[in-house]
Structure 1
Amino acid sequence: MVTRCRWAANYEEGTPMVAYHDHEFGHPVRDDERLLFELLTLELFQSGLSWRTVLNKRANFKAAFADFDINQVAHFDQQDVEQLLSDAGIIRNRMKIEATINNAQQIQTLHHQGETFSDLIWQQINGQTLDIGVDQDEKIASQNTLSEAFSKQLKKIGFKFVGPVTVESFLQAVGVENAHDLECDFR
């Protein structure tokens, strides 16, 4: 029998939650700017909602946001925003949609400055994954000093909808922090 993190343990094999947990969550993403942008976007859309809701709409998000192609999304205009607001397949929140477009533009700006989004993320911890896993009876904090500092840095650069709780979830998702439960087989 496979032991998973508490948040994924009650889902059946083959569900998006189990697939995400087993094959993506906490795997270090270093060189895939598109995937980093996708996960940041999904985390910001998750804000105030359940992760399950977002994962179940992931394919729709990919279609709506040009497969998370940073250069394409950075050029979305007001007409694209209105089209996205009418797309029942995604979470239709103007602020989150506009933040996604803005964040693509900020990643483009980093690229123009000779930096990557990946570099910006991983320099926070000198390229080494931090181990923050806890026992089954403990709870991982929804934010910490790393997510608070990185949130401030992202906001200063011009990113939007990147509060410390969203950033904490993102850092866990992309493997900056290993947040798998200590008992989890995928640790």
Structure 2
Amino acid sequence: MNKGELTKQRIIEEARALFSREGYTAAKTSAIAKACGISEAAMYKYFGSKKELLEASVVIDFAAEPKAAADFTKHSNDELIEYYINRLITTIQNNLEQFNILFTESLHHPELSDYFDQSVYRKSPEVQEMQKRIEAGAMNPVADIFLFELGVTASIWSILHYDRMKLGREDGKSEQFRKEIVRFIQYGVIGASSQEAPR
């Protein structure tokens, strides 16, 4: 990265931290510029407005995802759910500030909801396989897969956010936390008497 790209990235990181901690309205662009060691005028060379900076600050770095051609048909229901939940926890854990902003600011800035719809929710290959199994009756019915994903994402974010902000813990990294979330989703999605996918 050249100096300009490094400065732009630093502005995004400082803005993200401030928006996540204080909220968009309370965060001052002067504080962001000061944290970066530049003037506000210099900052506006990279971002035309505070709103543009908000939109840049919520871009998510996704955890390693399977290729579109990945074959999940051989995975059992348990394996499929475990893979999906572990990848989702990792993505949220690695982008907690972005999710903080998305979930806390979306009511005031609907365009952030559009970002979630278009970028965060992408029907990954494992979710497509889950949807096929739900439609085939191999998993418990889910009326709307988007609402399912939104609910699971919001639930995991709430727990991780609470643990970090209120308790000072990083439970998302613990194996026990992951197992508990996987078990919870398996019970709700698969049910006690579901059929496993063919091996």
TM above 0.5: no
TM-score of the superposed pair, with normalisation by structure 1: 0.26
Q: Which has the higher contact order (CA 8 A, sep 6+)?
A: 1
Greater Cα radius of gyration, structure 1 or 2: 2
Bigger helix fraction: 2
